[in-house]
Amino acid sequence: MKLGRVLILGAQGQLGVELQREFADYADVVAMGREGCDLSRPETIPGAIAESEPEIILNAAAYTAVDRAESEPDLANRVNGEAPGVLAEEAKRRNALLVHYSTDYVFDGTKQGTWVESDKTNPLNVYGASKLLGEQNIAASGARHLIFRTSWVYSPHGQNFLRTMLRLGAERDQLRIVDNQFGAPTTALALARATRQVLEHPWSPKHAGIYHMTCGGETSWCGFAKAIFEKSAPPTGKSWPAVTGIPDTEYPTPARRPENSRLSNDRLKRSFGVELPSWRIALEETLGRL
- Catalytic center residues: 127
Report the alpha-carbon angle 219-223-227, nearest 5. Answer: 110
135 vs 29, 68, 159, 274, 276, CA distance in Å? 24, 21, 25, 22, 22
> Pairing mode, if any, of strands 56-59 and 97-103?
parallel
Helix axes 14-23, 188-199, angle to 10 degrees: 40
Give φ, ψ of 150 to 5 degrees: -135, -175
Exposed (0-12), middle (13-18) or buried (19+): which is 272, by Cβ within 10 Å?
middle
- Please choose, from the candidates 232, 150, 164, 158, the residue with its C-alpha nearest in 3D space to the C-alpha of residue 193: 150
DSSP string, 53-71: --SEEEE------TTGGGG
Those residues whose C-beta lies under 8 Å from the C-beta of residue 102, and which sit 6 or more positions away, are: 131, 132, 134, 135, 147, 148, 149, 150, 210
Report how far residue 15's alpha carbon sits from residue 190's, in angstroms, rounded to the nearest whole number: 10
**Phi, psi at residue 47, to the nearest 5°?**
-65, -40
